[in-house]
Amino acid sequence: MMYQKLKRTWSNGYSTYMPEFKKVFPELSRVDSEELCDRFIELDLDFYTTERIPVVGWVRLTLPFALVFLLLMFLGLPFNFIFTGCWGYSLKKTHLSIYNWFKHLGINL
C-alpha cells in the first residue's frame, strides 16, 4: 500500500515544473518558461508535488483492526450525536491521530 507525501518545489525548480503546468493550462503555451518562472517568483507562489511512499509493514498489519474500529465509530455516531449535538467526529487532537492512521492505510474519510 502506498500513500502520498507532499514535496515542495523551490523557486529554482519552477522551470522543471513548467512543462506539466502548460499541459494543464494550454492557454499559457505562448508564454516562455522563464517568464512564467519570473511571474511565479514575483507572486510568491509555492508549488507542491506528491511523492508516493510505501506504508510501513507494521501499519499494514493493523488494517483489520482499523476496519473494526471504523465500524465501531460508524455504529457510535448516534451516541455521539446524543452527547455532543453534532453528527460526525471533529478533527481535534484526539481524533487527528486516528484520522492520520486511516490515511496511512488508504482509508480516505
Give me the pLDDT at residue 78, please.
Answer: 92
Domain map of the chain by residue range? 2-54, 57-105
What pLDDT, in 10s, does the model give residues 41-93?
777 766 666 677 777 888 888 889 999 988 998 999 999 889 888 888 777 76
Where does residue 93 rank: exposed (0-12), middle (13-18), buried (19+ CB within 10 A)? exposed
Q: Is the pLDDT of residue 22 over 90?
A: no
Q: What is the mean pLDDT of the segment spanning 83-104?
A: 79
Q: How far apart are CA 45 and CA 22, in angstroms?
A: 16
Q: What's the pLDDT band for 12 if we cut at 50, 70, 90?
A: low
